[in-house]
């Protein structure tokens, strides 16, 4: 299956000083090489796309453990440290505009890794769809601003991307890894971790949203004209009317932010002309963003009773428990096994002895607590 997870991180201003970042590049590169030499490229990709292992790596190379910059800085260090020609792994994309260049960078790997054009096309699709799902299908108010794409010469890929909730000043990190047998809209997230669960999060990837997915596709394929009586202004009562009335609407059913512009109706018209065969195909259409997906979900429920999921897809809050027993006591065996994985990698890493000792010292402090 496609596996991913998230982590909530507070926004910290500033950046890693050059002297520290240089060492991050060297140490992260050495740890990555040790893991690949010992376990192979696929296992390295598996670990990078595990939110807990990624967090542990960031801590080991010395970055602020709970800052939003953990993601961008660690991915940036890995991109500089890992040489595709030497390792068979490439780190693409990055923060802001660098993330938008990911499809072009993927296309450039056709000669570097001798990948078939069909595999390249699948990876470009994966890059775009993973971003679209986390921006549009899961409406948790985190807007993506970082997208790193990890590729192996064997054709495996993974994604580490991050969104920002501007009002709370928190970032949420999403992890993906591929399996061609699975799609992008059938609960692609697993092992999701963050400290808070939001209310009224539309999750169109939930299995509970399966009927709403099918109905949304049917609504598009039937043509957008009949949707106007529910979403556009007319003499009739429509969904937007409820915004200005003193009605007690259920909290789980927010009828907000669904106003469809002329451009939006044009998108629905093009979708009708395309006749998507399933929900993933519909989501992948250009211009099919969060407002249109939300509107279709609401109308699906209103007309056909195909209720989507309004639960935040957060499943786990902590990797190992909490020191004060909240939410549960620390599981020392699990904690120690996590550290042992990293310790083995660090001990095998080809780095200077002083850096090895510094990394092991930090891991030792975690073990002894």
HSE at residue 331, side-chain half, CA atoms within 13 A, is 10
Instruction: Round to whole Å and give the CA distance between 217 and 80.
Output: 43
- Position 314 scores a pLDDT of 60
What are the tens digits of pLDDT across the range 250-272?
A: 444 444 445 567 777 888 889 99
Asked if 363 contacts 343 with a C-beta cutoff of 8 angstroms, the reply is yes
pLDDT digits (tens, 9 = 90+) for 48-71: 988 878 888 887 776 554 455 778
Report the chain's C-alpha Rg in angstroms.
Answer: 22
Q: Is the pLDDT of residue 122 over 50?
A: yes
Q: Is the pLDDT of residue 156 over 70?
A: yes
Residue 30 has phi, psi (to 5 degrees) of -70, -40
Q: How confident is the model at residue 247 (pLDDT cuts 50, 70, 90)?
A: very low
Indicate whether 244 pLDDT > 90: no
Give the model's pLDDT for residue 316: 46
Question: Looking at residue 51, what is its pLDDT?
Answer: 82
- Does the pLDDT at position 76 exceed 70? yes
User: What are the residue ranges spanned by the domains of the chain?
Assistant: 6-197, 207-304
pLDDT of residue 8: 53
The whole-number average pLDDT for the span 353-360 is 74
How many Cα atoms are found within 13 Å in the side-chain-facing hemisphere of 105? 20
Let me know: does 297 contact 213? Beta carbons within 8 Å.
no
**pLDDT score at 185:** 92
Tokens 């056709």 -> residue: 110
On the question of pLDDT at 325 being above 60, the answer is no
* Percent helix / strand / coil, the chain, rounded to 5: 50, 15, 35
Q: How far apart are CA 147 and CA 344, in angstroms?
A: 29
According to the model, what pLDDT value does residue 328 have?
Answer: 52
Q: How confident is the model at residue 280 (pLDDT cuts 50, 70, 90)?
A: very high
- The neighbour count for residue 49, using CB atoms within 10 Å, is 25
DSSP state of 142: P
Instruction: Report pLDDT for 178.
Output: 82
What CA–CA distance (Å, rounded) separates 186 from 313? Answer: 12
Question: What are the distances in angstroms from CA 201 to CA 44, 63, 134, 246, 297?
Answer: 32, 31, 12, 23, 12
As a whole number, the mean pLDDT across the chain is 78
Edge-first strand order for the sheet with 89-95 is 6-10, 170-177, 157-165, 143-152, 89-95
Backbone dihedral region of 140: left (phi > 0), alpha (psi from -120 to 50 degrees) or beta?
alpha
CA distance 354 to 273: 64
User: Are 284 and 129 a contacting pair, CB within 8 Å?
Assistant: yes
* Phi, psi angles (nearest 5°) of residue 3: -120, 135
The pTM (predicted TM-score) of the whole model is: 0.76
d(CA 51, CA 30): 20
The pLDDT score that the predictor gives to residue 77 is: 93
Looking at mean pLDDT, say which of 49-53, 186-190, 212-216, 253-257 comes out highest: 212-216
Tell me what the mean pLDDT of segment 76-102 comes to: 95
Q: Specify the pLDDT at position 195.
A: 56
Q: Which residue has the higher pLDDT, 24 or 46?
A: 46
Would you state the pLDDT for residue 237?
A: 44
Is 155:124 a contact under the CB 8 Å cutoff? no
What is the pLDDT confidence band of residue 226, given thresholds at 50, 70 and 90?
confident
For position 240, what pLDDT does the model report?
45
């Amino acid at each position: 299956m496609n596996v991913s997870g998230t982590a909530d991180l507070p926004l910290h201003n500033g950046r890693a000083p050059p002297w520290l970042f240089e060492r991050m590049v060297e140490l992260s590169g050495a740890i990555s090489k040790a893991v690949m030499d010992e376990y192979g490229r696929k296992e390295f990709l598996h670990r990078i796309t595990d939110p807990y292992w990624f967090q542990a790596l960031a801590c080991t190379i010395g970055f602020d453990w709970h800052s939003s910059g953990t993601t961008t800085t660690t991915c940036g260090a890995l991109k500089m440290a890992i040489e595709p020609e030497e390792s068979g792994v490439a780190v693409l994309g990055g923060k802001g505009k660098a993330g938008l260049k990911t499809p072009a960078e993927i296309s450039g790997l056709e000669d570097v890794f001798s990948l078939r054009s069909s595999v390249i096309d699948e990876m470009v699709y994966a890059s775009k769809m993973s971003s679209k799902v986390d921006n549009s299908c899961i409406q948790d108010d985190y807007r993506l601003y970082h997208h790193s794409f990890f590729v192996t010469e064997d054709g495996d890929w993974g994604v580490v991307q991050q969104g920002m909730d501007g009002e709370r000043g928190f970032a949420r990190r999403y992890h993906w890894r591929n399996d061609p047998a699975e799609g992008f809209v059938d609960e692609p997230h697993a092992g999701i971790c963050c400290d808070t669960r939001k209310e009224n999060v539309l999750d169109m990837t939930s299995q509970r949203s399966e009927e709403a997915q099918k109905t949304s596709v049917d609504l598009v394929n039937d043509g957008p004209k009949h949707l106007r009586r529910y979403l556009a202004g007319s003499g009739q009562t429509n969904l937007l009317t409820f915004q200005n009335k003193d009605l007690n609407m259920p909290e789980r059913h927010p009828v907000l932010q669904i106003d469809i512009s002329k451009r939006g109706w044009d998108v629905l018209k093009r979708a009708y002309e395309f006749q998507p065969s399933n929900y993933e195909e519909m989501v992948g259409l250009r211009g099919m963003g969060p407002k249109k997906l939300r509107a279709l979900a609401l109308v699906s429920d209103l007309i056909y009773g195909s209720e989507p999921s309004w639960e935040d897809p957060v499943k786990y809050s902590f990797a190992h428990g909490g020191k004060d027993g909240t939410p549960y006591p620390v599981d020392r065996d699990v904690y120690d096994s996590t550290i042992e994985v990293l310790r083995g990698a660090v001990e095998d890493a080809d780095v200077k002895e002083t850096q090895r000792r510094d990394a092991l010292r930090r891991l030792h402090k975690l073990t002894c607590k």
